[in-house]
Amino acid sequence: MLSTIAMAYIQPLPKGSVRKVYNKLSLLENMNIKLIPKNQLLMADEFQERILNPKNKKRYRTFADIKKCYLKNPSLFVGAFDKTQIIGIVFGYVKRKNVLLGEMVIDKNYLGLGLGSTLLDFFEKQVVKLRKNKIVLGSRENAEGFYLKRGYNPILFLQIRHSDVPNNYELLTKHKIQKETNYSDAKRLFIKVKHPSDILKRKLIKIFCAYNGIYLFEKTL
């Protein structure tokens, strides 16, 4: 599941906006970042589902899957709270030597307060405590700039049916193929790029005859 977050930018304040800024800053007074208690995990999951899956489509990770991972590594489930109300979450999953940041969600009423960076800072520290040194995630387009600013490097992930893999595919692009794996259904390529671009993604999907391509982001801590 892709992560989602929004970032604010600095601009001159229009007339009447000072009160809005004050009201937003006042929201910070009761804000608290902490590990999600076991008895609030379901509430946190329902929160992220309301935002990431409003049409209630079939889930990639069920709550049972999330709970199983939580019981193994509860320190990777981080919440932001306004008093007792959940206003942001990060769910993480150990994948061999790395940690997958699976879900990151912030209540729209709390965007632009730096909450995304605060949550991510807390989460990264938890990853280090587990003696893991790399975070990998998928991102929606509106969050790519945020992760780039946070030092995450983009990787284009391509899936190619074995029957469609071009000859000498390693020579088809100047971009470095960082890793490749083979599964029964497809070959998977991880291509290092400098900056995510929809044009570049479409170009490489066509060159490699891939049936799917998304940008992943990774950071070594």
Contact (Cβ atoms closer than 8 angstroms) between residue 208 and residue 158: yes
Residue 207 sits in the same domain as residue 171? yes
Residue 121 sits in the same domain as residue 158? no
Residue 143 sits in the same domain as residue 210? no
Domain presence at residue 8 = no
Residue 125 sits in the same domain as residue 180? no
Residue 129 sits in the same domain as residue 167? no
Domain count, the chain: 2
Residue 157 sits in the same domain as residue 145? no
pLDDT score, position 25 = 57
Is it the case that residue 159 has pLDDT exceeding 50? yes
Q: What is the pTM of this model?
A: 0.83
Cα-Cα-Cα-Cα dihedral sign, residues 110, 114, 120, 123: negative
User: What tokens were used for 205?
Assistant: 């999907």
Residue 125 sits in the same domain as residue 41? yes
pLDDT digits (tens, 9 = 90+) for 12-53: 434 554 455 455 556 667 789 999 999 999 999 999 999 999
pLDDT score, position 112 = 86
Domain presence at residue 9 = no
Residue 97 sits in the same domain as residue 56? yes
Q: Give the residue from 123, 149, 175 where a domain finishes.
A: 149
Burial grade of 168 (CB within 10 A; 0-12, 13-18, 19 or more): exposed
Report d(CA 113, CA 7) in Å as an integer.
9
pLDDT digits (tens, 9 = 90+) for 50-95: 999 999 999 999 999 999 999 999 999 999 999 899 999 999 999 9
Domain presence at residue 13 = no
Residue 101 sits in the same domain as residue 128? yes
**58-65: Cβ within 8 A, 24+ apart:** 60/1, 61/1, 61/102
Residue 167 sits in the same domain as residue 143? no
With bands split at pLDDT 50, 70 and 90, how would you rate the model's confidence at 113? confident
Q: Give the residue from 86, 118, 149 where a domain finishes.
A: 149
CATH number at residue 181: 3.30.70.260
Amino acid occupying residue 6: A
